[in-house]
Amino acid sequence: MNRCVSSRGAGAMAKYPLTRLKDTNNLAFVSAPLSAYAGRTRIASGTGFFYSPSFSRTFLITNRHVVVKEATSFYPDALILKLHTDGDDLTQSSNLTLPLYSIGQTPTWRQISDSVDVVALELDTDELKRFVVHAFTPLDMITPDIIVGVGDPLVVIGYPKGFSDEVHNLPVFRRASVASVYPIPFGGKPCFLIDSELHPGTSGSAVITQPSIWEVNEFEAELFDERRYKFIGVHSASYGDLKLNVVWFADLVTELTKE
Q: What value does the mean pLDDT take over residues 177-206?
A: 96
Residues 6+ apart with CB under 8 A from 72: none
32 and 67 within one domain = yes
For residue 252, the SS3 value is helix
Query: What's the sign of the alpha-carbon dihedral 203, 196, 143, 26?
Result: positive
107 and 225 within one domain = no
165 and 101 within one domain = no
Q: What value does the mean pLDDT take over residues 196-214?
A: 92
118 and 152 within one domain = no
Residues of the domain holding 151: 141-256
Band (12; pLDDT cuts 50, 70, 90): very low
155 and 130 within one domain = no
185 and 114 within one domain = no
CATH number of domain containing 183: 2.40.10.10
- How far apart CA 253 and CA 237 sit, in angstroms, is 17
62 and 171 within one domain = no
- Check residue 13 and give its pLDDT: 37
Residues 6+ apart with CB under 8 A from 195: 176, 177, 178, 179, 243, 244, 245
241 and 166 within one domain = yes
57 and 38 within one domain = yes
177 and 221 within one domain = yes
Residues 6+ apart with CB under 8 A from 168: 90, 91
- The 10s digit of each residue's pLDDT in 30-79 is 999 999 999 999 999 999 999 999 999 999 999 999 999 999 999 999 99
Q: Which comes out higher in pLDDT, residue 234 or 224? A: 234
Band (130; pLDDT cuts 50, 70, 90): very high
184 and 124 within one domain = no
How many distinct structural domains can be found in the chain?
2
- How far apart CA 210 and CA 212 sit, in angstroms, is 6
236 and 168 within one domain = yes
CATH number of domain containing 129: 2.40.10
